[in-house]
Structure 1
């Protein structure tokens, strides 16, 4: 989901509570805070020596240990106020992919992409998902598109005598 699309969804649902589902049927606690918004520029070179560049908006969610008993979720309206204040200080790139950075005691820190959203009663639930790492230079490295797992004794896609950097 692009940053503008997220803002549109928030704008259309400002009277609701804002919940985040970080894994199937697992919600970020009601004690969460938006602790940071990152405007990230990525300039990369993949294993096939191809360059790429893109921008991301990364919104960090943190669960406060001082509010473990909290049951009322942040309102969409309040989240929008935080995000708008950030936008006045550091303008958004609205066509940048938006991700949410999150962790808890049982879930390692990850940057999660927005997979979907759902309206349930008076809640806007943003459904997050993990994006798997991938070889972006499959055709250059000779990796078949449908191959997912590589045994430990198999050649890596970027072997020393391969085509990669």
Structure 2
């Protein structure tokens, strides 16, 4: 999801409560805060010696240990106020990919992509997901991806592990 799309969804749903689902049925707790917004420029070289560059907006979510047990989630309006204030200080690149950085005691620190969103009653739920790393130069480097016919049985020496 691009930063502009995130803002459009937030603007359209100002009267809702904002939740983040980072695994099926698992949510960032209600004691979360937006603690940092990063405007990141990636300038990369892949293993095929190809260069690439892009921008990302990374919004950090943090669960306050002083508010464990909190049950009321942040409103979309409050989140939008925080993000708009950031934009006044450091303007957003609206076509930048947006990610949410998050961790807790049960989940490692990760930058999560927004896969989708949905309205559940009075809640705006952003569905976050981890994307696996990948080789961008497969063709250049001669990497052939093989599909495993039966990944349900994985024995040593079978080639699936």
TM-score scaled by structure 1? 0.88
Aligned to 1:123: 123
1:161 equivalent in structure 2: none
1: CA distance between counterparts of 2:106 and 2:146? 31
Counterpart of 2:72 in structure 1 is 72
5+ long unaligned stretches in structure 2: 149-156
Query: Aligned residue for 1:52?
Result: 52
Cα distance in 2 for residues equivalent to 1:95 and 1:76: 21
CA distance in 2, matches of 1:146, 1:35: 42
Q: Per-residue deviation at 1:69?
A: 1.4
Unaligned stretches of 5+ in structure 1?
A: 154-165
Counterparts of 2:126 and 2:145 in 1: how far apart (Å)?
30
Secondary structure in 2 matching 1:53: strand
Alignment of 1:1-165 (within 5 A): 1-146=1-146
2-side partners of 1:96 and 1:146: how far apart? 32
Q: CA deviation at 1:146?
A: 4.7
Q: Deviations over 1:9-50 (max 9, x none)?
A: 000000000000011110000000000000000000000000
How many residues in Structure 1 have an aligned counterpart in Structure 2?
A: 150
Give the SS at the match of 1:85: helix
CA–CA separation in structure 2 for the residues paired with 1:25 and 1:142: 39
Provide the rounded CA distance (Å) in 1 between the counterparts of 2:35 and 2:70. Answer: 17
Pair 146,16 (structure 1): closer, same or farther in 2 beyond 3 Å: farther
Report how far residue 119 of structure 1 moved: 0.1
